[in-house]
Structure 1
Amino acid sequence: MQLKDKKVLITGGSRGIGKCMIDELVKQGVQDIAVIGRDKENLKALRTTFESVNFILVRGDVGDLNVLRDVTSKIEDEWGSLDILINNAGIVSAGPLEDLSDEDIYDQVSVNLTAVMVLTKYCIPLLRHSQEGAILNVSSGLGLIGMPFYSVYASTKAAIRQFSDAIRRELEPDSISVTCVYPTATNTDMMTTSKATDMDSPEFVAERSIQAMVQKKLHVIFGGEERLNDSKLNFESPEKFDAKIAKSYEERKEASLYHKAM
């Protein structure tokens, strides 16, 4: 796949991994980018940072169906088609399930999962006009390995993996590729309240994710050999992995109490 002159829609593109993805896309010749973001000032700043880009900027929460309808309507009116959809936006509220507010549970499911499904649904007719249609879904390492105190977040991200496989097979006759990536802890605003260390840079995650989409890879797991080994152990011997995690139970519980980015 060649990115030059492709038309792209990205959610959560005004900061963090999303903004770094825009930078990578621009480096490879993309000039038409639609962005959904919640922060007005960060959205406005994109025009200054990327002066060569023809932006369609939509301020709002992807959990709001009207926002998703608005952006796809604008793309249809202004471009008539779409080449790439990047489902990147995500939120997290960690801690014991019984302590999470009902609103935080609903919002995580809405933003991390429902919005991905609905926006993809709206974009499929636009992607069919492309000669090289592609979808890039951002899951998480927690979508591969469910960890204590991240039961809701991990569940939404695990669902993204299954959705990616299912929709890839469904869209095979349309030649629309689907790539799903699984970042580990990444040094973004989303991790400000986390006690995680040894994080990947958002630039690294963005570059590798875009590269995977271009190469039409199905799945890309971050975190190196340790993540791959843990995933294998979790699948083949979940009881052994349970015992491994139990050793750091209290430490994980304490750390989760401060991790919230909604």
Structure 2
Amino acid sequence: MDLKGKKVLITGGSAGIGKALLRELISHGVNDFAIIGRSQDKLDKLKKDFENINFILVQGDVSQLSDIERLVKEVDKQWGNLDLLINNAGVISTGSLQTISDVDIINQININLTGLILLTKKALPLLLKSEEAGLMNISSGLGYIAKPFYSVYAATKAGVKHFSEAMRRELVFENIHVMTVYPTATDTDMMITSKIENMDTAELVARKSIEGLLNKDIDVILGGKQRKKDIETNINRPLEMDKIAKERYESYRDKTEFHRAM
């Protein structure tokens, strides 16, 4: 895939992994970006940080259908087509299921999964106009291996995994490459309230993601050989992962006690 001249839409593209993806794509010759984010200040900063880039900036929330439709309408009005959709926006609220608020449960599902699905649906007519399109969904390592105290977040990210697989097979006769990215813990604002150390950088995730896109990979799994080994164990010998979770239970509880980025 030649990225020069591509028109790219990124959700949550004004910070964290989304902004790192923007930088990485710029280094590959992309000049046209549509970005949706909840913070107008962060969106305005993009124009200052990237003065020579053409932006469609929409302040909005992907959990709101009206905002999704407004975004797609603006992209259609200004571009008429779309080459790459990156569903990156996400939130997290951890803890035992009994302690996560009902509002946080609903919002995690709506932002991480429902909004992702609806935006993909609404943007598909524009992607189908592209001669060479891509759909990149950002899941999580927790979408493969669920851990205690991440029940809702892990469920949404597993949903992203299966949605991507279904869309890849549904679009098998279309010129749209569908891929999924599975980051480990990444050093972004989303992780400030966690107690996790030795995290990946957003730049690493972005670089690996775009490398995967250019290679037409369907999955980009961060975390090295050990993560892939753990995934294999989780699929084929899940009780072994249950045992590990039991041994690390107190550590998981400690690290997730105050982890919330909504």
SS at match of 2:123: helix
- Cα shift at 1:251: 1.8
Equivalences for 1:93-104 in 2 at 5 Å?
A: 93-104=93-104
Give the structure 2 partner of residue 233 of structure 1: 233
**1:124 pairs with 2:135:** no
2:48 and 2:26 map into 1 onto residues whose CA distance is 13
Moved over 2 A (4+): none
Q: Which position in structure 2 is the counterpart of 1:261?
A: 261
What SS does structure 2 have at the residue aligned with 1:8? Answer: strand
- The alignment partner of 2:162 has SS state of helix
Distance in 2 of aligned mates of 1:65 and 1:155? 21
Shift of 1:168: 0.9
The separation in 2 between residues aligned to 1:79 and 1:203, in whole angstroms, is: 28
Partner of 1:245: 245
Alignment of structure 1 residues 29-178 onto 2, 5 Å:
29-178=29-178
Distance across 1 between alignment mates of 2:98 and 2:234: 24
Task: Write the distance in 2 (CA, Å) between the matches of 1:28 and 1:250.
Answer: 44
Is 1:189 the counterpart of 2:189? The answer is yes
1:220 paired residue number: 220
Distance 1:259 1:2 in 2: 39
**Worse-matched range after superposition: 44-53 or 182-191:** 44-53
SS of 2:117's partner is helix
Alignment partner, residue 25 of structure 1: 25
SS of equivalent residue, structure 2 residue 9: strand
Instruction: Tell me the alpha carbon deviations over residues 42-101 of structure 1, each in whole angstroms, 9 at most, x when there is no partner.
Output: 100111111111100001111111110011000111100000000000000000001111
**Contiguous gaps of at least 5 residues in structure 1:** none
1:208 to 2:208 alignment: yes
Q: Distance in 2 between matches of 1:229 and 1:27?
A: 32
2:173 aligns to what SS in structure 1? helix
User: What SS does the corresponding residue of 2:69 show, helix, strand or coil?
Assistant: helix
SS of 2:4's partner is coil
Partners of 2:76 and 2:238 lie apart in 1 by 47
Q: State the partner residue of 1:10.
A: 10
Post-superposition offset of 1:132: 0.5
Give the superposition deviation at 1:39. Answer: 1.1
Q: What is the deviation of 1:227?
A: 0.8
**Alignment partners' CA distance in 2, 1:215 and 1:38:** 32
TM-score, normalising length: structure 2 = 0.98
Runs of 5+ unmatched residues, structure 2: none
1:8-35 residue CA offsets vs partner (Å, 9 max, x unmatched)? 1000000111001101111111111000
Identity of aligned residues (%): 49
When the two structures are aligned, how many residues end up with a matched partner?
262
Question: In structure 2, how many angstroms separate the alpha carbons of the residues matched to 1:228 and 1:69?
Answer: 37
Partner Cα distance (2:243, 2:253) in 1: 16
Q: CA RMSD in A?
A: 0.8
Alpha-carbon deviation of 1:151? 0.4
- Return the alpha-carbon distance in structure 2 between the equivalents of residues 31 and 241 of structure 1: 44
> Offset at 1:133?
0.7
SS of aligned partner of 1:173: coil
Q: Distance in 1 between matches of 2:105 and 2:30?
A: 36
